[in-house]
Amino acid sequence: MESYINVDPNMVVRSKIENVDVNWYDVRQAPFSIHGLYEPLTEPYFRRVPAEVADATSEGVSLLSQESTGGRVRFSTDSAYVAIRAKFRVVGRSPHLTLLSSSGFDLYVDGEFGSRFVREFRMPYDMTDTYEAVLGVDVKNGTMRSFTVNFPVHAVVEKLEVGLHPDAKLGEARPYRDILPIAFYGSSIVHGTAAGRPGLIYPAIISRDLNLDFYDIGFSGQAKGEAVLAEWMATLPMSMFVCDYDYNAPNPEHLAATHYPLYEIIREKNPEIPYLMVTRPNFWTKPCDEDDIFRRREVVMTSYLKARQRGDKNVYFVDGLSFGMTPHTYDLTMDSIHPNDAGFMRMADCIGLVIKHILAKG
């Protein structure tokens, strides 16, 4: 029996664009710019970490590093519509995630006063390895406008093309602020699990609010402070490092054994950049081991104080307990662990405020 949801014509989605003339462009070609992905012009598919580093870290990181979360393609055009055509190696599906988040794309228009969500590129639910979608955009008098397409959170994307009106112009995107990207390292929460769509992961929200480029180095259940990965992260050209893997440490003892050493590895190659130590968000939405929560928090606080006592004036502590200090704390998660869209917005506001303060200091 066909799903009743298709009674609503707004819910019907097709895998091919119909009755629209489109010129297709490979996003690996100029003037497109690709952000947040490792060597995107030469790797056979879009990934976040070099294969040799990911493989040496763990089997889980090896698999998850191939997912494209945090990846973005940016460009400008005067086209009245923007289309995408994507080819996947892996399509992510989970009963507690939206398909749009795990394997879809969304579109933002970038302007002088920030970025604005346009719409999502929907796919049929039974999509297996490819789909096309097109969105109309508000273009007046042939004005060039800058756009960002966000990559999926839990999918492996082999190829992405952008489609425009045959007569449209194509140009470079509006630039990010002229500083190096921020690197976010951490758990499934950094990865973006449970966001409603790709643009709502918390690093992306901060990026739009402050017009900053970023790397998302999050791994669902697999961020455990491994030295081999830290050595690679330390080589990234970055302006700031956000360390948020508390949730994935198997226990407080593991966190204590890895947290400060990871800081030392990053700091050795990046002696001047701001370093943010974040404790896991706890929204008090289910019975939990409060002793475990506070022991972990104490580990991160100890790392912070140790760094400060040794003379590091550019290290910061961000308390995850503060993220849930609102009257709506019980409505900020999808499953009592992972933030939903409201929870990610709350995290972006709290962490982003610290980043904004650091940037204002110069």
Q: Does residue 17 have a pLDDT over 90?
A: no
Domain boundary, last residue among 108, 137, 171: 171
Residue 229 sits in the same domain as residue 106: no
Continuous H helices in 65-196:
99-103, 188-191
| 199 and 55 in a common domain | no
Q: Are residues 16 and 111 in the same domain?
A: yes
**Does 107 share its domain with 199?**
no
Q: Is the pLDDT of residue 361 over 70?
A: yes
Give a yes or no: residue 223 inside a domain: yes
Torsion over CA of 90, 130, 12 and 10, rounded to 10 degrees?
A: 90
Residue 177 lies in a domain: no
Question: What does the pLDDT average to over 21-35?
Answer: 97
What average pLDDT does the structure give for the chain?
93
> How many residues does this entry show for the chain?
362
| Residue 68: CATH number of its domain | 2.60.120.260
Expressed as residue numbers, the domain containing 258 is 182-361
Global confidence as pTM: 0.95
Whether residue 257 has pLDDT greater than 60: yes
- The string of pLDDT tens digits covering residues 211-223 is 999 999 999 999 9
pLDDT in tens, 263-285: 999 999 999 999 999 998 876 55
For residues 260 and 310, state if they share a domain.
Answer: yes
pLDDT range class, residue 179, cuts 50, 70, 90: very high
Domain boundary among 147, 171, 195: 171
Q: How many domains does the chain have?
A: 2
Model confidence at 326: pLDDT above 60: yes
Q: What pLDDT is stored for residue 334 in this prediction?
A: 87
Q: Which residue has the tokens 């086209």?
A: 79
Quick one: which of 354, 279, 275 has its CA closest to 324? 279
Describe the strand order of the beta sheet including 156-164 as a list of residue ranges: 23-26, 156-164, 81-90, 130-136
256 shares its domain with 111: no
- Final residue before a domain boundary, out of 171, 192, 226: 171
Is there a single domain that holds both residue 266 and residue 304? yes
Of 323, 326, 327, give the one whose Cα is nearest residue 347.
323
Whether residue 176 lies inside any domain: the answer is no
Higher-scoring residue by pLDDT: 282, 358: 358
Contact 279, 297 (CB under 8 A): yes
Q: Is the pLDDT of residue 115 over 80?
A: yes
